[in-house]
Amino acid sequence: MTSTVPALGTRTAEGSALQAVLLDMDGTLVDTEGFWWDVEVETFARLGHALDESWRHVVVGGPMTRSAGFLIEATGAAITLAELSVLLNDGFEERIGTALPLMPGAQRLLAELYEQQIPTALVSASHRRIIDRVLTALGPQHFTLSIAGDEVSRTKPYPDPYLLAAAGLGVDPARCAVVEDTATGVAAAEAAGCQVVAVPSVAPIVPAERRTVVTSLEEVDLAFLQGLMTEMR
């Protein structure tokens, strides 16, 4: 099991300005953004409320406190945030227990980073209980450490998770490549000063300074990430 404990003696890529790769989880490495929405719809249906499809873009990529809080307020459901969080995590954990599809190119990219000894962190707004289940499928050996949404006082879109990951790896955030799928995650990575690769999953993301947009992880490999850093020089 990986954790937020700083890694000692972490190796960096020799001959490259790229010092580490920080990866989001839901919608980036695993095709689970739809799982979260399905669980939210089913949970609120049991509470007697229907969710508007347009709300999906509001809650995607957000921490549990924000997404669940928004849905409680929007529906007026008689449930506390703490109670709803348990129901949503239980429902999601049940789903990934039967199926956990990886995004195209995810396994190849993780294998390449591991083989080339690139320090890599999993940085997610999901809770630790969920991350640890997913890590079993992704292969915990692929990550030097992981950051969970319930382990930081401020999660995405604040920069704290990415700053904590960079500190744990002993690297400069500006020399980290972050791979994200939502505007919330992109905002967090950019606020931390990282170079961002956006692979939009639900809502579109436009290119910007220090942000490259691709359609799939199949377009991303180590050479691609190193090239982003070369452009900064």
pLDDT of residue 183 exceeding 90, the answer is: yes
Residue 195 neighbours by CB distance under 10 Å: 22
Which pLDDT belongs to residue 67? 85
The yes-or-no verdict on residue 6 having pLDDT over 90 is: no
Task: Report pLDDT for 233.
Answer: 52
Q: How far apart are CA 28 and CA 22, in angstroms?
A: 11
The pLDDT of residue 10 is: 36
Is the pLDDT score of 222 beyond 70?
Answer: yes
Per-residue pLDDT averaged across 147-172, rounded? 96
**Rg value, the chain, Cα:** 17
Instruction: Assign 189 a pLDDT band (cuts: 50, 70, 90).
Output: very high
E strand or H helix at 57, and its extent? helix 56-59
pLDDT value of residue 57: 80
Burial class (CB within 10 angstroms; exposed 0-12, middle 13-18, buried 19+) of 128: middle
Neighbouring-strand partners of residue 21:
120, 177
Question: Is the peptide bond preceding residue 204 cis, with omega within 30 degrees of 0?
Answer: no
Mean pLDDT of 37-41: 91
Structure tokens at 231: 């452009």
Residue 11: the pLDDT is: 38
**CA atoms of 57 and 181, how far apart (whole Å):** 12
What's the pLDDT at 13?
A: 42
232 and 17 Cβ atoms separated by less than 8 Å = yes
The predicted model gives 35-43 an average pLDDT of 90
Question: How far is residue 201 CA from its own chain's centroid?
Answer: 12
Tell whether the torsion through CA atoms of 21, 22, 25 and 31 is positive or negative: negative
- Confidence at 74, pLDDT banded by 50, 70, 90: very high
Global model pTM greater than 0.75: yes
pLDDT per residue over 112-143, tens digit each?
999 999 999 999 999 998 999 999 889 999 99
